[in-house]
């Protein structure tokens, strides 16, 4: 009895098991599908910021403006949450606890770890998060403009504030190129005669 040939199909060749192989012949690997809990939240609201629920706790907390990786690690450690936990898996009560810890962050860490040390109006060490970061920065710039200090004047002019050079970078306004003098046709020969 003659051997039957497999029908030719378009697409990637198949290996012995019938799994599709790529051009080099290696079988295609299927990614395991993560099974989510029915209480999983895909978007978590934390300090007026929408955070992706699929991110782990440290990366998710650092998504809040004013918090970095180190401060996020400290907050997660204070809350007793392992680093590998996804923020979407946390219950609502744990998220509220995280928010409370973020608001009390400046009281739980040394003064050199906060982002606004000895605030000029209150004298306290504060850690600003969320919208407060932008509001305080805008207020500080407006105060500098109002008292007419050097930095305030530079802010008004739209120039560099921190002492950088402005000869080549930071140019504003119309572009100015370098104009080269046009040589006259007979000027080159006259210059050669003078040299001799």
- Record the pTM: 0.66
Average pLDDT over residues 108-117: 93
* Cα–Cα dist 14/27, whole Å: 8
Distance, CA of 119 to chain centre? 26
Higher-pLDDT residue of 38, 3: 38
Average pLDDT over residues 5-33: 62
Evaluate whether 129 touches 64 at the Cβ level (below 8 Å): yes
User: Chain-wide mean pLDDT for the chain?
Assistant: 85
The residues, ordered by sequence, that sit 6+ positions from 19 with a Cβ below 8 Å of its Cβ are 27, 28
> Furthest-apart CA pair in the chain: how many Å?
105
Most confidently modeled range among 24-28, 64-68, 184-188:
64-68
Q: Quick one: pLDDT band at residue 172, thresholds 50, 70, 90?
A: confident
Beta bridge partners of 52: 43
Domain ranges of the chain: 43-112
Q: Which of 37, 48, 125 is nearest to 88 (CA)?
A: 37
Name the H helices within the chain. 57-61, 69-79, 92-103, 105-108, 131-146, 150-157, 187-195
Higher-pLDDT residue of 182, 34: 182
Q: Quick one: pLDDT band at residue 181, thresholds 50, 70, 90?
A: confident
Given a cut of 60, whether residue 13 has pLDDT beyond it is no
Higher-pLDDT residue of 191, 80: 80
Evaluate whether 154 touches 160 at the Cβ level (below 8 Å): yes
Cα–Cα separations (whole angstroms), residue 191 to 103, 181, 182, 183, 195: 78, 15, 15, 11, 7
Given a cut of 80, whether residue 10 has pLDDT beyond it is no
Given a cut of 80, whether residue 178 has pLDDT beyond it is no
Given a cut of 80, whether residue 51 has pLDDT beyond it is yes
Determine what percent of the chain is predicted with pLDDT higher than 70. 78
Average pLDDT over residues 112-116: 94
CATH topology of domain 43-112: Helicase, Ruva Protein; domain 3 (1.10.8)
Beta bridge partners of 143: none
* Cα–Cα dist 58/76, whole Å: 7
């Amino acid at each position: 009895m003659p051997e039957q040939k497999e029908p030719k199909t378009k697409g990637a060749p198949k290996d012995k098991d019938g799994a599709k192989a790529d051009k080099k012949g290696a079988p295609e690997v299927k990614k395991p599908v993560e099974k989510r809990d029915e209480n999983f939240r895909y978007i978590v609201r934390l300090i007026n910021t929408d955070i992706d629920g699929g991110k782990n706790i440290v990366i998710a907390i650092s998504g809040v403006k004013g918090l970095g990786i180190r401060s996020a690690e400290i907050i997660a450690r204070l809350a007793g949450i392992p680093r590998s936990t996804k923020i979407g898996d946390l219950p609502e009560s744990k998220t509220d606890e995280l928010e409370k810890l973020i608001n009390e962050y400046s009281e739980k860490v040394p003064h050199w770890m906060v982002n606004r040390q000895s605030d000029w109006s209150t004298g306290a060490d504060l850690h600003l998060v969320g919208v407060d970061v932008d509001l305080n920065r805008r207020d500080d710039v407006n105060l500098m403009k109002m008292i007419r200090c050097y930095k305030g004047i530079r802010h008004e002019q739209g120039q560099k504030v921190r002492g950088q050079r402005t000869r080549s970078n930071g140019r504003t306004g119309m572009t100015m190129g370098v104009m080269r003098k046009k040589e006259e046709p007979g000027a080159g020969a006259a210059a050669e005669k003078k040299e001799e």
